[in-house]
Amino acid sequence: VPLKGWTRRCTVSCAALDAMMPAWIVLSAVPGLKAEGDGMEELATEKEAEESHRQDSVNLLTFILLLTLTILTIWLFKHRRVRFLHETGLAMIYGLLVGVILRYGIPATSYHNKTPPSCSLKEGPVSTLLLNVSGKFYEYTLKGEINSREIHNVEQNDMLRKVTFDPEVFFNILLPPIIFHAGYSLKKRHFFRNLGSIITYAFLGTAISCFVIGNLMYGVVKLMQVAGQLTDKFYYTDCLFFGAIISATDPVTVLAIFNELHADGDLYALLFGESVMNDAVAIVLSSSIVAYQPSGANTHMFDASAFFKSVGIFLGIFSGSFVMGAATGVVTFTKLHCFPLLETALFFLMSWSTFLLAEACGFTGVVAVLFCGITQAHYTYNNLSEESTKRTKQLFEVLHFLAENFIFSYMGLALFTFQNHIFSPLFIFGAFIAIFIGRAFNIYPLSFLLNLGRRHKIKGNFQHMMMFAGLRGAMAFALAIRDTATYARQMMFTTTLLIVFFTVWVFGGGTTPMLSWLHISCSCFLSTFLLCCRVGVDPDQDQQPCGDNFQSKTKQESAWLFRLWYTFDHNYLKPILTHSGPPLTSTLPSCCGPLANCLTSPQAYENQEQLRDHDCDLMRNDGDMTFTFGDTAITANGAVNGKKQGSTSEEALEHDLDSREQELLSHGTRLVFPIEDHI
């Protein structure tokens, strides 16, 4: 073939597609080969490349249209106030439908239906291979091992292979914005008030759940072995790994309904905080278990030294990622008030660089991004201009929304398009039982222990609700799809997929009846007024601790450790790291006067004046991003349904809010009319 120049212009948009789905694009990125002499053959290659590229665009377009359809249906549901099916459940259903069509509807007319040529080497697989074709060298990169079964798949199911993503896309493109958004929107009083319980559930609870599920599944596997249903190896560490990936809860559906119904703030904080934290725990736990595996000759049995090594790795990775995320979060306070665009861009870049920095240091990027988000919400957020707080929230909200719906659509699709499913009824049944038992061992004993120390007890109906809200979602899926090479992992993947479907549809859909059955009160009256125009509003807006009023509340509600931390944070960290809070000159002892003067910004003095003048009101209003009345409503609701033990200051607050609520109702009626016009 007389080819002179190799053009880099492979096909017009393969790189854009690459960005989304490296695995299946690289496969088909047959590069355009530029003509120098004549060449029928090379024209054919060009044509094939063009055709392949067109096919890729069509495939990606399918996903986009799937998302578009989901959004339109979500809108319809929100509009008609349908609550039994959440957007993520919907995305999965559409994904399933498209998966069925791709699998059974489209004839296997693949343009790439010849078995690729092979060549032999004696050495092991290398990352880069040179191919010598009549004196010209071509560079090839390793994609992976394929077994003989899959060589035929290359022929037959090119289309299905094409809609299969590289699993790393989930971990490195789709999860970080979701996790960051979760951390960034975590700023609220209820969260910090329940921090101890949340950490207990997330760390201890997830570890318990992991081991309970792991051991139960090991029993199931032994049973399968006896029943002769196991056709390949399934080790104890595999069971533990399954326990780790399936312990990451994701009650996004439940929380969306909590938002709409304005269910109890503490319960919301417990569930949300737990699900955010245990994602991080599950990642680190699963990689520790993987690291535990190849530690000796008898790899898959219990080994104390290897176990402690794993625990060490767990603690090392976790604390490293935590410190890294928190440090970057603290560093990124900006003084670019005047330029919201620059601020937003800088904020985005710093969050991303946290991810990369953690990866570069060998820690877990996703965990670092989570703590970066939490820290930024706590400190950096106060330094941003009002405009930038809106922009950053909205930017990450859109990214989060798209990524989440994409993952759930893809889950639906994967049930039919994934090539190596292993459906084992016994394993699946066992797993369903195991996750319930694991969840129960997490919630009930820990709640009992926590209640010994808590002033506000976690009541029985709250515990049942937490038990019920143990849905599995994006993180479990991402961890399961990350490695589907062995028999055990393929079975886990299939089972995880089914668990996600079941929990999201059944538990997600059953949230509203369950709430009323458990007598967990909601301010449904208010919520009907706010149902429209609520998607953009985050009801967990920061009801920021403000001034002395807050400190008195903290004293009552929190343990001494957190009281200590709060005082330190409020008096020293916030003034140094942000422009909010009291000036250091008033919180530091007088002997440190010069130092305090030096560290305090002029704005802090201004803030102090404002703090004295307006106290809470000022702070409460700065959090809302979308609709002013939205914030008022939520605050109102917090007071109406919060079941707080009224102190004097709280009663005053409540009174204030009641009057706001009245005000809101007049807003509310005005709000409803344009909706009716739409219908």
Q: Rounded to 5 degrees, what are φ and ψ at 299?
A: -60, -40
Q: Rounded to 5 degrees, what are φ and ψ at 560?
A: -65, -30
Residues in contact with 524: Cβ distance below 8 Å, sequence separation at least 6, in sequence order: 261, 262
Closest to its own copies by CB, 353 or 451: 353
Q: How far is the CB of 289 from its own copies (least distance, A)?
A: 13
Between residue 528 and residue 547, which ones bind its own copies under the rule CB under 8 A?
532-533, 535-536
Closest to its own copies by CB, 368 or 664: 368
CA separation for the pair 514, 444 (Å, rounded): 18
Q: How far is the CB of 508 from its own copies (least distance, A)?
A: 19
Closest to its own copies by CB, 116 or 228: 116
**Interaction of residue 109 with its own copies, rule CB under 8 A:** no
Q: How far is the CB of 54 from its own copies (least distance, A)?
A: 5
Closest to its own copies by CB, 128 or 590: 128
Other beta carbons within 10 Å of 152? 12
Q: For its own copies, which residue of 40, 80, 104, 116 counts as binding (CB under 8 A)?
A: 116
Segment interacting with its own copies (CB under 8 A) among 47-55, 94-102, 221-229, 505-513: 47-55
Q: How far is the CB of 60 from its own copies (least distance, A)?
A: 5
Q: For its own copies, which residue of 110, 153, 172, 571 counts as binding (CB under 8 A)?
A: 172
Closest to its own copies by CB, 119 or 304: 119
Q: Is the dihedral of CA 171, 173, 176, 181 positive or negative?
A: negative
- Report helix, strand or coil for 445: helix
CA separation for the pair 19, 17 (Å, rounded): 5
**Interaction of residue 106 with its own copies, rule CB under 8 A:** no
Helix axes 340-360, 365-375, angle to 10 degrees: 140
Q: Is the dihedral of CA 258, 260, 265, 269 positive or negative?
A: positive
Between residue 601 and residue 630, which ones bind its own copies under the rule CB under 8 A?
602-603, 626
Segment interacting with its own copies (CB under 8 A) among 220-228, 261-269, 289-297, 461-469: 289-297
Residues in contact with 342: Cβ distance below 8 Å, sequence separation at least 6, in sequence order: 336
Q: How far is the CB of 169 from its own copies (least distance, A)?
A: 5
Between residue 378 and residue 417, which ones bind its own copies under the rule CB under 8 A?
387, 391, 394-395, 397-398, 401-402
Q: How far is the CB of 19 from its own copies (least distance, A)?
A: 4
Nearest to 349 by CA among 577, 174, 180: 180
Between residue 619 and residue 678, which ones bind its own copies under the rule CB under 8 A?
626, 674-675, 677-678
Angstrom CA distances, 331 to 57, 184, 341, 381, 522, stand at 41, 15, 19, 12, 40
Pattern of binders to its own copies over 334-363, x per CB under 8 A? -xxxxxxxx-xxx-xxx-xx-xxx-xxxx-
CA separation for the pair 403, 29 (Å, rounded): 25
Between residue 470 and residue 529, which ones bind its own copies under the rule CB under 8 A?
481-486
Place of tokens 């032999």: 120
Q: For its own copies, which residue of 183, 243, 365, 582 counts as binding (CB under 8 A)?
A: 365
Q: How far is the CB of 432 from its own copies (least distance, A)?
A: 26
Which class for 543: exposed (0-12), middle (13-18), buried (19 or more C-beta within 10 A)?
buried
**Interaction of residue 110 with its own copies, rule CB under 8 A:** no
Angstrom CA distances, 582 to 193, 585, 586, 600, stand at 21, 8, 7, 9
Give the total residue count for the chain: 679
Between residue 130 and residue 169, which ones bind its own copies under the rule CB under 8 A?
130-134, 136-148, 151, 154, 166-169
Closest to its own copies by CB, 232 or 658: 232
Closest to its own copies by CB, 166 or 279: 166
Determine contact, residues 253/506, Cβ cutoff 8 Å: no
Nearest to 108 by CA among 155, 176, 63, 51: 155
Q: How far is the CB of 359 from its own copies (least distance, A)?
A: 4
Which tokens hold the place of 289? 């278990």
Q: How far is the CB of 117 from its own copies (least distance, A)?
A: 6
Between residue 180 and residue 239, which ones bind its own copies under the rule CB under 8 A?
none
Q: How far is the CB of 120 from its own copies (least distance, A)?
A: 4
Closest to its own copies by CB, 610 or 645: 610
**Interaction of residue 13 with its own copies, rule CB under 8 A:** yes
Between residue 52 and residue 71, which ones bind its own copies under the rule CB under 8 A?
53-54, 57-58, 60-61, 64-65, 67-68, 71
Nearest to 427 by CA among 232, 207, 289, 170: 232
Segment interacting with its own copies (CB under 8 A) among 50-58, 274-282, 611-619, 640-648: 50-58
**Interaction of residue 439 with its own copies, rule CB under 8 A:** no
Q: Which residues pair with 33 in a beta bridge?
A: 6
Residues in contact with 144: Cβ distance below 8 Å, sequence separation at least 6, in sequence order: none
Cα 93 to chain centroid, rounded: 20
